[in-house]
Amino acid sequence: MTEAAIAARPTPHVKDNAIIRFENITKRYGKVVAVDNVNLEIREGEFFALLGPSGCGKTTLLRMLAGFETPTEGRVFIDGKDIAELPPNKRPVNMVFQSYAVFPHMKVADNVAYGLKMDGVEAGESRRRVEEALELVKLGGYGDRMPDQLSGGQRQRVALARALVKRPRVLLLDEPLSALDAKLRDQMRSELTSLQEKVGITFIMVTHDQDEALAIATRCAVMNRGLLAQVATPADLYEFPSSRFVADFVGSVNMFEGVLADDKHDEATVRCPEIAAPIYLDHGVTGAQGSTVWVALRPEKIEMHKRPEGAAPMKMEDAPAGTNVVPGIIRDIVYLGSETIFEVELEGGRRVKTFRSNLTRYDQEDFTWDEPVWLAWHACSPAVLLS
């Protein structure tokens, strides 16, 4: 169940040792449980993402690493050492804050040098390392500027340089891209990954944006209401979600509730009231027969074919082996340029979303409103969820 469709990013700098270990971490604020018995290991060299909706506890977890929150129960280890007693200014981690928190009354160079000054690094050495850090984030020559002369993206680079110049064991990033506009966000996304590859430091990022997590991270933890929902690589998260919450939160999905009708080692059948025909799967489900399951089907994995109105109804048996086919009618078309989103109404009234890339400029198969179509998907495409 965990074979990814897409090659993982090559990560020669990821080592086997767990640089961070959360052990039975719980955090309560009065009666509210913000983090609920989390166990998690993060390996050295990873670019790890904590992903989840707001209020899921991801920021609390990150702030525990920085030392701004203390766990109610459980222990946090960095490099195998329990850091419960260390105040924020004594920990071998540094943080890039959501607002960047660049000191507004200090020059860029003084901002970057601040951490070194606190460590008592000698002036010449400090100057050299500041220079180096600014070069690293492509701000060489900006040392004499004041923060109010910088753009948002540049201020973020200052915050990055200021944290990296201290050569932390782990760099923490709190929603690093949320304050940037769309174009800059795409650019910083790839810069962050190449920066991490260059410095080889473990990065841990908190984000609520699934695109961001999928694109940047080597591994993600999805959180919901204080609990870890799933920890996996981006591709595994998207293609093999462990629950309805993950399937729904990461990407767009068509979800059908059904009953497990037949379950063998290498095939299974699910009957969903919303789909006339049973859904055929080419793998087993390891669930009790007759139990309720959910079938999650990604829109890009559904093919759409013309269904001539007069033609004899295609039977499921006639479909190519290993394919599920259901009839429907196109009810809405949203053209987005590179792709088009179709909303197809099945016979029972359920609407199913499907994407199509617009691969050619003309002569494209010409679907229109209220046109009858076949929807087809391969038996390996749906993910079956037990919770």
Partner 1 sequence: MARERKEKPGPLEYNRRWPLQAIVGATLFFLYFPLIILMVFSFNDSRRNIVWQGFTLDYYEKAFNNSSLIEAFANSLTIAFFCTIISVVLGALTAVMLWRFRFPGKTAVEGAMALPIVVPEICMGVAMLVFFARVMPWPTGMPWPLNLGAIIIAHVSFAFPFVATVVRARLASFNRELEEAAKDLGASEWRTFWDVLVPHMQPGLIAGALLAFTLSLDDFVITFFTAGPDTITFPVKVYSMLRFSVTPEVNAASTILIVVTVVLTAVGLRMQDQQDQKAKAK
CB of 88 to partner 1, least distance (A): 4
Distance from C-alpha of 106 to C-alpha of 120, rounded to nearest angstrom: 18
**274, two tokens:** 């919303």
Q: Which is nearer to a second copy, 90 or 362 (CB)?
A: 362
Q: Which range touches a second copy (CB under 8 A), out of 133-141, 220-228, 232-240, 273-281? A: 232-240
Residue 242 found at the interface with a second copy (CB under 8 A) = no
Kindly identify the residues of this chain, within the stretch 6-45, that bind a second copy according to CB under 8 A.
6-7, 9-10
Q: Which is nearer to a second copy, 10 or 30 (CB)?
A: 10
Q: Do residues 65 and 170 lie in contact, with contact meaning Cβ atoms separated by under 8 Å?
A: yes
Q: Do residues 233 and 4 lie in contact, with contact meaning Cβ atoms separated by under 8 Å?
A: yes
# residues contacting partner 1 (CB under 8 A): 35
CB of 301 to a second copy, least distance (A): 6
Residue 285 found at the interface with a second copy (CB under 8 A) = no
Kindly identify the residues of this chain, within the stretch 59-78, that bind partner 1 according to CB under 8 A.
59-60, 63, 66-69
* Residue of 329, 254, 325 whose CA lies nearest to 294: 254
Q: Which residues pair with 239 in a beta bridge?
A: none
Site mask for partner 1 (CB under 8 A), range 165-204, x = bound: -x--------------------------------------
318 by DSSP, 3-state: which?
helix
Q: Of the candidates 8, 84, 104, 332, which one interacts with partner 1 according to CB under 8 A?
A: 104
Q: Is 192 left (phi over 0), alpha (psi -120 to 50) or beta?
A: alpha
Distance from C-alpha of 347 to C-alpha of 31, rounded to nearest angstrom: 47
Kindly identify the residues of this chain, within the stretch 327-346, that bind a second copy according to CB under 8 A.
332-340
CB of 147 to a second copy, least distance (A): 24
Residue 119 found at the interface with partner 1 (CB under 8 A) = yes
103 by DSSP, 3-state: which?
coil
Backbone φ and ψ for 93, nearest 5 degrees, come out as -130, 155
CB of 189 to a second copy, least distance (A): 7
CB of 348 to partner 1, least distance (A): 40
Which residues fall within 8 angstroms of residue 289, CB to CB, at 6 or more apart? 260, 261, 262, 263
* Residue of 319, 321, 304 whose CA lies nearest to 267: 321
Q: Is 141 left (phi over 0), alpha (psi -120 to 50) or beta?
A: left
Q: Which is nearer to partner 1, 105 or 265 (CB)?
A: 105
**Token pair 């990821």 in the structure block, residue:** 14
DSSP tag of 90: G
Residue 148 found at the interface with partner 1 (CB under 8 A) = yes
Q: Do residues 140 and 198 lie in contact, with contact meaning Cβ atoms separated by under 8 Å?
A: no
Q: Which is nearer to partner 1, 119 or 332 (CB)?
A: 119
Q: Of the candidates 120, 315, 321, 368, which one interacts with a second copy according to CB under 8 A?
A: 368
Q: Which is nearer to a second copy, 147 or 299 (CB)?
A: 299
* Residue of 280, 299, 306, 310 whose CA lies nearest to 357: 299
Q: Which amino acid is at 241?
A: P
Q: Of the candidates 32, 312, 321, 359, which one interacts with a second copy according to CB under 8 A?
A: 359
Partner from a second copy, partner 1, none contacting 321, C-beta within 5 to 8 A by type: none
Q: Which residues pair with 344 in a beta bridge?
A: 330, 352
**Token pair 């609920």 in the structure block, residue:** 36
Q: Which residues bind partner 1 (CB under 8 A)?
A: 29, 34, 54-55, 59-60, 63, 66-69, 87-90, 93-95, 97-99, 101, 103-105, 114-115, 118-119, 147-148, 159, 162-163, 166
Q: Which residues bind a second copy (CB under 8 A)?
A: 3-7, 9-10, 189-190, 210-211, 214-215, 234-235, 238-240, 250-252, 298-301, 332-340, 355, 357-364, 366-369, 378, 380-381, 383
